[in-house]
Chain A
Amino acid sequence: MVDMLSGLLPPELWRLIVIVLQIVAIVLPLLLAVAYLTYAERKVIGAIQLRKGPNVVGPFGLLQPLADGAKLFLKETIFPSGANKVVFVIAPMLTFILALIAWAVIPFDEGWVVADINVGVLYLFAISSLGVYGIIMSGWASNSKYAFLGGLRSAAQMVSYEVSMGLVIISVLVTVGSLNLSDIVLKQKETVWFILPHFPMFIIFVVSILAETNRAPFDMAESESELVAGYNVEYSAMTFALFFLGEYANMILMSAMATVLFLGGWLPPMDIAPFNWIPGIIWFVLKICAVLFIFLWVRATFPRYRYDQLMRLGWKIFLPFSLFWVVLTSGVLVAFGWLPGQG
């Protein structure tokens, strides 16, 4: 059937159709995952605080995210009178689009990737470093003190933590010898999951992605107690919903990145009978869920950092340590002749 269809259409058109279908096959489950991540967050935090969480709309409150979405959709979009309208509208769209396009290079299973590009890791890094624009633009365009302060804080924070994140990624890349995400996972199949040799880097990476996605305890950009809601305080209805979706999609993306870099992507924990019956994508999703649980767990457990302590942690502790680890990794690889591309 598929062969017959592909014979009928010109090859370029057929490729276009396939790519569009692939995009839909990623974006729809992603949006569903975002909706139920908000539900999971409220349930997990509820359980940690000995509450029930949402339990009214639908069985076990399962329809709660849909109800929230419908509510946001029906509300009025308000433009503050002093706002710079064009930038004000572009900012949430940018946040949302960036959270989606990064998924193009994530390998869900062996060969299950939309764009298997050579520089996959750099692409992810570039996209995540662009995330700051949505926040800083919304903060400026809102023409409000709280939003502006939130935007500035977030910009400084994301730029600081990117540096140590980059070094963490470099120490993994040096071990693999390729910037392709599938190659990184396949290398972990040959050796071990990188969480074992690079355990301190995994810790730094997880803390850095908390800071990079502006999540508690580093949610300085929207600290309710001082900035009301930070950069998105002037946004309402769908413009707010886009920020919200973008933030949660980014959380899932960063968890996927941690999974690919450190937890062996789609690989089963051991390549023996009961584990390798389960398809790779299930393992991939399970690992993402495990990392996401850390996000929720941390949010319910830790108080918010103070801003100067956040900067100190990023620049004075993570940066020197990850730099040291890059040197150590390269040293070990050279000393034992494990350097990729040498043998």
Chain B
Amino acid sequence: MIAALIFYMFAGLAVASGVMVISARNPVHSVLFLILCFFNAAGLFLLLGAEFLAMVLVVVYVGAVAVMFLFVVMMLDINFLKLREGVAQYLPTGAVIGLVLLVELAVVFGGWAFAPDVEALLAAPIPPTDQMTNTEALGRLIYTNYVFLFQASGVILLVAMIGAILLTHRTRTGVRKQKIYDQVGRTAANSVEIRKVSTGGGI
């Protein structure tokens, strides 16, 4: 009973905050509602008994990704009135795209079929939770059966990161950068010169 009530609370809040993400006037509020939505999704994971996924969702999405969103949105200088201007003009196009997506989803779900032995396939690699915590179960699965997929996803992220850095990195002229190596490498021999100065003569 209580678990069901909590489920409806999390699910309801997740959907409601999801709606607020797209309907909030202020983009910063949108990001904050997105964070609320992530939280409720984490709550749903907890109800499923997937505590590791719940925590990772909070650490990765709320703790890092959403911070970056917030960062960018706060720095943007958006004119909210101007943003609202073309709504009537864009509405038909948006509605058509939405309709196409809906039809596609309907087609996919209409032809959806489960393999007859799906339950056995799903249950096989995961031991019951009283024998092993799901963190350990997940680790054993990822680092054994799916190690290549895991590595491949890591490489994809790395490539994306390198791409982002490459696209935004440019060498600027006229910037004086601190060169730690040069600073530390300086010795008295190559930076100080001792001269004998005659009185009243100067150098």
What is A's interface to B at a CB cutoff of 8 Å?
A: 84, 87, 117-119, 122-123, 125-126, 129-130, 132-133, 136-137, 140, 148, 152, 155-156, 159, 162, 178-179, 308-309, 312, 341
B41 close to chain A: CB less than 8 A: no
The answer to whether A140 and B35 have CB atoms under 8 Å apart is no
List the A side residues contacting B146 at CB < 8 Å. Answer: none
State how many angstroms separate the Cβ of A5 from the closest Cβ of chain B. 23
A119 partner, pick from B29, B35, B52, beta carbons under 8 A: B52
Which of the 9-residue segments B55-63, B157-165, B186-194 touches chain A?
B55-63
A122 and B59 within 8 A (CB): yes
> Is B32 an interface position by the 8 A CB rule?
yes
A118 near B35: Cβ-Cβ < 8 Å: no
Q: Nearest-CB distance from B179 to chain A (Å)?
A: 11
Q: For A126, what are the chain B residues with a Cβ–Cβ distance below 8 Å? A: 55, 58-59, 62-63
Instruction: State whether A162 touches B63 (Cβ < 8 A).
Output: yes
Chain A residues within an 8 Å CB radius of B56? 122
Whether the Cβ atoms of A162 and B64 lie closer than 8 Å is yes
Contact of A132 among B28, B32, B67, B133 (CB under 8 A): B67
The one of A87, A119, A136 in contact with B55, judged by C-beta atoms closer than 8 angstroms, is A119
Q: Which residues of A contact B70 (CB under 8 A)?
A: 136, 140, 155
Beyond contacts A87-B28, A123-B55, A140-B70: 10 other A-B pairs, Cβ-Cβ < 8 A, are: A125-B55, A126-B55, A130-B58, A136-B67, A148-B74, A156-B71, A159-B68, A162-B64, A179-B135, A312-B180
**Given that A119-B55, A122-B59, A341-B136 are known contacts, is A155 also in contact with B28, CB under 8 Å in the complex?**
no
Q: Which residues of A contact B68 (CB under 8 A)?
A: 159
Q: Knowing A130-B58, A152-B71, A179-B135 touch, does A119 contact B51 (C-beta < 8 A)? A: yes
From 15 to 50 in chain B, residues with beta carbon under 8 angstroms from any chain A beta carbon are 26, 28-29, 32, 35
A152 partner residues in chain B, CB cutoff 8 A: 71, 74-75
Contact present for A159 and B64 (CB under 8 Å): yes
**Does B178 lie at the interface of the complex (its beta carbon under 8 Å from any beta carbon of A)?**
yes
6 A-B residue contacts at CB 8 Å?
Answer: A119-B52, A130-B63, A137-B32, A140-B70, A159-B68, A162-B64
Q: What residues of chain A lie closer than 8 Å to B180, measured between beta carbons?
A: 312
Closest Cβ of chain B to A177, distance in Å, is: 8
Q: What are the residues of chain B within 8 A of A136 when measuring CB–CB?
A: 67, 70-71, 74
Of the candidates A84, A119, A137, which one forms a contact with B135 in the assembled complex, judged by CB atoms under 8 Å apart? Answer: A119
Bound: A178/B135 CA distance, A: 9
| A133 engages B74 (CB within 8 Å) | no
From A86, which residue of chain B is reached at the shortest CB distance?
A: B29
Which residues of chain B are within 8 angstroms of A162 by Cβ–Cβ distance?
63-64
Closest B residue to A132 using CB positions: B67
Asked if A125 meets B67 with Cβ closer than 8 Å, knowing A118-B51, A118-B135, A312-B180, the reply is: no
Which partner residue on chain B sits nearest A173 by CB separation?
B135
| CA of A268 to CA of B71, assembled, Å | 45
Cβ-neighbour of A155 out of B35, B59, B62, B71 (below 8 A): B71
Complexed CA–CA distance, A87 and B29 (Å): 9
Q: Are B74 and A140 in contact (CB under 8 A)?
A: yes
**Closest residue to A148 on the B side, CB-wise?**
B74
- Knowing A130-B62, A140-B28, say if A122 contacts B55 (CB, 8 Å): yes
Interface residues of B in 58-100 (CB under 8 A from A): 58-59, 62-64, 67-68, 70-71, 74-75
Interface centre among B28, B55, B56 (most CB of A within 10 A): B55
Q: Are A129 and B135 in contact (CB under 8 A)?
A: no
Q: Mark B169-188, 1 if CB is under 8 A from A, else 0.
A: 00000000010100000000
* Contact of A125 with B74 at beta-carbon distance under 8 Å, contacts A118-B133, A118-B135 already known: no
Closest to B129 in A: A118
Contact A159 B135 (CB under 8 A): no
Nearest CB in chain A: distance from B143 CB, A:
12
**In the complex, what residues of A have CB within 8 A of residue B59's CB?**
122, 125-126, 129
Instruction: Name the distance in Å between A102's Cβ and chain B's nearest Cβ.
Output: 12
In the complex, A259 Cα to B75 Cα: how many Å?
38
Q: Please, how many angstroms separate the alpha-carbon atoms of A283 and B7 in the complex?
A: 41
Contact flag A87-B71 (CB < 8 Å), given A123-B55, A129-B64, A130-B58: no
By a CB distance below 8 angstroms, the chain B residues around A118 are 51-52, 133-135
Expressed in whole angstroms, the minimum distance between the Cβ of B39 and any Cβ of chain A is: 9
| Contact assessment for A117 and B64 in the assembled complex, using a CB-CB cutoff below 8 Å | no
A159 / chain B contacts, CB cutoff of 8 Å: 63-64, 67-68
User: In the assembled complex, which residues on chain B have CB atoms less than 8 Å from the CB atom of A125?
Assistant: 55, 59
